[in-house]
Chain A
Amino acid sequence: KAGVTQTPRYLIKTRGQQVTLSCSPISGHRSVSWYQQTPGQGLQFLFEYFSETQRNKGNFPGRFSGRQFSNSRSEMNVSTLELGDSALYLCASSLSPGDEKLFFGSGTQLSVL
């Protein structure tokens, strides 16, 4: 069974641009969560999607958004990029919310210049 796939692996953008990251969960997993990892703040929850609906959202500005498609694939978008958005963005899937055990992708390393 294929794992969680995140694309692209690396991304370089400049301030003010926007970016879209993609996540394909493990087959059969319907819950997708996104986390931001930085050296200073560690791992922080962004949001979780289940059945194409956002279930929870972390404490991030409205520039961070996401969506989930009917095949459970998810995308997250960051608009008007700031230098502080440079981070490793991790996607995790599970069978359902509250399933507890998360399966993580390898992440997308975003650098904002």
Chain B
Amino acid sequence: SQQGEEDPQALSIQEGENATMNCSYKTSINNLQWYRQNSGRGLVHLILIRSNEREKHSGRLRVTLDTSKKSSSLLITASRAADTASYFCATDAGRNTGNQFYFGTGTSLTVIP
């Protein structure tokens, strides 16, 4: 399977704390994306980082990418109860594969008010 893995599978923190989740993937990539999914709903795009980038920020989100280790991390700072959701990394499937992505197994984040 080309599917990536995320770690931890589940994470529970207090509101205001930072949350870090990690993603490992298997093949060379052009880019890596992070998505959020609220229970039983569709995914929402959070951030994209390209293979030639090492770090990217968007609001309270910070993403890092280490292509030598085939891994990425997502940091959510000053978490809020509304951040409670599952988070998935997604990697492209290679050249000329359009919008075919490999999604990780997901990290379930619970932020306790």
Residues of A participating in the B interface, judged by any CB pair closer than 8 Å: 4, 31, 33, 35, 42-45, 48, 50, 55-56, 58, 88, 90, 92, 94, 97-107, 109
Contact = CB atoms under 8 A, between A and B. Distances in A.
Given A42-B105, A42-B106, A109-B40, A97 B45 contact: no
Given A100-B31, A100-B92, A45 B101 contact: yes
Given A42-B106, A100-B33, A56 B42 contact: no
A57 to B, nearest CB: 9
A31 B99 CA distance: 8
A36 B82 CA distance: 26
A54 to B, nearest CB: 10
A55 B104 CA distance: 23
Shortest Cβ-Cβ A-B pairs, 7 listed: A97-B98, A104-B42, A43-B103, A104-B43, A33-B99, A106-B42, A56-B100
Contacts of A42: 3, 103-106
Given A43-B88, A100-B33, A100-B92, A48 B100 contact: yes
Contact of A94 (B42, B92, B99): B99
21 contacts: A31-B98, A31-B99, A42-B104, A44-B103, A56-B97, A58-B100, A90-B43, A92-B43, A97-B99, A98-B98, A99-B99, A100-B33, A100-B92, A100-B99, A102-B45, A102-B99, A104-B42, A104-B43, A105-B42, A107-B40, A109-B40
B69 interface: no
Contacts of A55: 98
Interface residues of B, number: 24
Contacts of A56: 93, 97-100
Contacts of B102: 45
Contacts of A48: 98-100
B85 interface: no
